Amino acid sequence: MLCNCRENKEIRSQQARTSVETAKDVQNDKSLKSKAEKERRLREKQSNNTKIFIDERKTAAMRQEKRKEKLRKMHEDQMKDLSKYVQNVRTFVKDSNA
């Protein structure tokens, strides 16, 4: 779970950096003459970034869900093995006392 939190923080910080860089790029773009052109271009880039960010978060969520399911399965298998071991020990102790 700790890994997922760290991954989410990294994704969000990278996305924030990208947003800031996009805004700077648009403001420094000399080909955009008017304020309206700059605002329009910024909205376009932000819209594209938003789509990309949503996809990244969906992908991360799917990856995290796969990890959780894998851990859940591993835990289930370990519990079965442990139950079998305990049952064998009980049988052994019971047989040696008899």
Q: Is the pLDDT of residue 98 over 90?
A: no
Domain holding 24, by residue range, is 2-97
Q: Which helix (H) or strand (E) holds 62?
A: helix 35-97
Confidence at residue 23, expressed as pLDDT on a 0 to 100 scale = 92
Q: Could you read off the pLDDT of 18-73 as tens digits, one per residue? A: 999 999 999 999 898 899 999 999 999 999 999 999 999 999 999 999 999 999 99
- Say how far apart CA 39 and CA 33 lie, in whole Å: 11
Count of domains forming the chain: 1
Confidence of residue 8 (pLDDT cuts 50, 70, 90): confident
What are the backbone dihedrals phi and psi of residue 73, each rounded to the nearest 5 degrees, phi first?
A: -65, -45
Confidence at residue 1, expressed as pLDDT on a 0 to 100 scale = 53
Q: Is the pLDDT of residue 97 over 90?
A: no
Residues 6+ apart with CB under 8 A from 20: none
